[in-house]
Amino acid sequence: MEATEAPATEAPATEAPVAATAEPSDEGGMSFTLTTLTGETIDDSIISNNKLTMVNYWATWCGPCVGEIPDLQKINEEYADKGFSIIGVLIGDDDYDGARQFMSDTGVTYPVVLPEGVFYTLASGIQAIPTTMFFDSNGQQVGETQIGSMSYSNWVSLIDSLLSQVS
């Protein structure tokens, strides 16, 4: 499928996590408890309770990242009843207040966390953002890692395809 993607933006080095709980599970998936930028606690049930979870690494200074977030929020709303969820991971960005304001201004309701624990480990190989990965309910990666932003229609096509693989 031809994509109308924006190029990825180089990601700066990320500081080591301060505090998080994240352990590999006995089943080879992931186990974590993290606090979101809005102060809520999320854990691995966000993954285990859904067929497919998107993990989207982004930053407020990344034009392609912030450009696709309204589409991701729309997808999050439209696919909630299909066993789909999104976790945003703010990477290489210390502007937490700016990120919170952006989330509020754009109506983002999915959780956004810092790259701690398992999400720090996953971030270690990221060279550019946005970078997006998908995980099944067992915490296993599904499909290829997506680098760069995508249009709404391309995300929907990819998500539909991945959901059919895990259903």
| R_g of the chain, CA atoms, integer Å | 15
| Domains along the chain with CATH numbers | 22-166 (3.40.30.10)
What are 35's two structure tokens?
């606090």
Segments of the chain with pLDDT less than 50: 1-4, 10-27
Please report the pLDDT score of residue 2 as a whole number. Answer: 38
Please report the pLDDT score of residue 22 as a whole number. Answer: 36
Please report the pLDDT score of residue 6 as a whole number. Answer: 52
> H/E/C letters for each residue in 97-119?
HHHHHHHHHHCCCCCEECCCCHH
How far is Cα 139 from Cα 117, in angstroms, rounded to an integer? 14
Per-residue pLDDT tens for 51-80? 999 999 999 999 999 999 999 999 999 999
Please report the pLDDT score of residue 167 as a whole number. Answer: 76
Residue (of 166, 158, 156) closest to 78 by Cα position: 156
Residue 37's Cβ-count burial label (10 Å; 0-12, 13-18, 19+) is middle
| pTM, entire model | 0.83
Per-residue pLDDT tens for 9-28? 544 433 322 223 333 344 45
Q: What is the enclosing helix (H) or strand (E) of 143?
A: strand 141-147
32 DSSP assignment: E
Amino acid at 8: A
Please report the pLDDT score of residue 29 as a whole number. Answer: 67
